[in-house]
Structure 1
Amino acid sequence: MINALQLHEIQEVEELTEDSRQRFEVKDVQSLSWVLRKLAALEAKKTEINQIADFELERIEHFRKKELESIQDNENFFRGLISEYAIRKRDDDPKFKIKTPYGSVGFKKQQPKWNYDDKALIAYLNENELYDFVRVKQEPNKVEIKKQFNCTEDGRVYDPNGVEVQGIKVESKPDELVIKLEV
């Protein structure tokens, strides 16, 4: 919850005219403090709004979950009835299929699912020299490249032998302004 002081700060922000917004300038520690107070109050208001919204979203999500569970239970019941009927009919006719104005029922062949234990499989393939079935992925070791290679101010990179490296361009970034509010 925002306190009375923060509420006052927000009211001052809302009362600022466009003209005063354009002319205001931080000139000293006092004006910087004023601006930081306004930012802290706005941050508190934003937090309060998010808390209210999160609470309402949680209630709505709970409602949706409860309603959908009820629908899912009914769907499962009716699908179970259809499944029992279709299995009985398939026992009589292995190619059982039926269409109605409201839908169709039948069986579809499934492909077998292959479940791999990659570590065990790779060990087996390597032990039995079946190297054609093992794929090796090549990628640059970027951590070591950053440690061992040198970069110039213009963004070019050189390997330890002094040869320019193709495929890397270092982009300089300006310092980032960091504002930490004491809320």
Structure 2
Amino acid sequence: MSVNPLYMQEIEELEQQPAEARERFRVTDLASANWCMRKLAALKAQERDTNNLADAEIERIESWRRHELDKLRGSMEYLEMLLTEYHKQVLAQDTRAKTISTPYGKLKARRLPPKVEYDEEMLLAWAKGAGRTDFVRVREELAKDAIRDAVLRGGEAVPGVTVIDQGVKFSVEVTE
């Protein structure tokens, strides 16, 4: 994909402009604002094309990487499975063999703690019915939407609330 020839002309014209002229230039009317918008539109089009090209190359390289790593992962998983089977056999014979050391690494076995799963609705109903308040946590939090409406729309003074005028935000939107 290439930049529109008219956009290329705008970019070339901007690049050929001497630095002194760039420093002196000011937007003073709609025509000079339009001139800036044309240049900006051209630069954004070139930026988009540059990003599209880079993204295509990155995707091609990422695809190659995924393919190569998938091949490696298959072999690594196979070797890890063989080592795990070996470690299980050694651990069955000697319960103290939780770590097996080699010059290239270690095989480690660790007992995992029990996992607890919860049916939250059932458990909450039971805890409330059984009076187990130690099993139930209640949180208080501010209703910020109501506070915002009272302060901004209702003009109410609320202690602990400060309204900060953020001024006007200016932005430039280039039509593509």
Could you say which TM-score interval applies, normalised by the shorter chain? 0.7 to 0.9
Q: Which moved more, 1:100-109 or 1:141-150?
A: 100-109
- RMSD over aligned CA atoms reads 2.2
CA, structure 1 residues 179+101, in 2 after alignment: closer, same or farther (shift >3 Å)?
Answer: closer
Q: Percent identity?
A: 32
Aligned residues: 174
What does residue 94 of structure 2 align with? 93
Say whether residues 1:53 and 2:44 are aligned partners: no
Q: Secondary structure at the match of 2:140?
A: coil
- The unaligned stretches of length 5 or more in structure 1 are 160-164
1:128-153 CA distance string (max 9 Å, x none):
221222222222111111112358xx
TM-score with structure 2 setting the length? 0.87
CA contact (8 A) 2:8 2:42 kept: yes
- The unaligned stretches of length 5 or more in structure 2 are none
Offset at residue 19 of structure 1 (A)? 0.9
Q: Which amino acid aligns with 1:139?
A: E
Q: Which amino acid aligns with 1:57?
A: I
What does residue 179 of structure 1 align with? 172
CA, structure 1 residues 22+44, in 2 after alignment: closer, same or farther (shift >3 Å)?
Answer: same
What does residue 14 of structure 2 align with? 13
Say whether residues 1:68 and 2:69 are aligned partners: yes
Q: Which amino acid aligns with 1:112?
A: P
Say whether residues 1:112 and 2:117 are aligned partners: no
CA contact (8 A) 1:2 1:48 kept: yes
CA, structure 1 residues 104+32, in 2 after alignment: closer, same or farther (shift >3 Å)?
Answer: closer
Bigger relative CO (Cα 8 Å, ≥ 6 apart): 2
Q: Separation in 2 of the partners of 1:119 and 1:61?
A: 44
TM-score with structure 1 setting the length? 0.84
CA contact (8 A) 1:150 1:157 kept: yes
Offset at residue 105 of structure 1 (A)? 2.3
Structure 1's consecutive aligned runs of 4 or more residues displaced over 4 angstroms after TM superposition are none
CA contact (8 A) 2:124 2:136 kept: yes
CA contact (8 A) 1:157 1:169 kept: no
Offset at residue 15 of structure 1 (A)? 1.4
CA contact (8 A) 2:40 2:174 kept: yes
Q: Which moved more, 1:94-103 or 1:108-117?
A: 94-103
CA, structure 1 residues 176+87, in 2 after alignment: closer, same or farther (shift >3 Å)?
Answer: same
Q: Which amino acid aligns with 2:41?
A: A
CA, structure 1 residues 103+139, in 2 after alignment: closer, same or farther (shift >3 Å)?
Answer: same
Q: Which amino acid aligns with 1:158?
A: A
1:11-67 CA distance string (max 9 Å, x none):
112112221111111122211111110111111111111111111111121122112
Q: Secondary structure at the match of 2:61?
A: helix
Q: Secondary structure at the match of 1:149?
A: helix
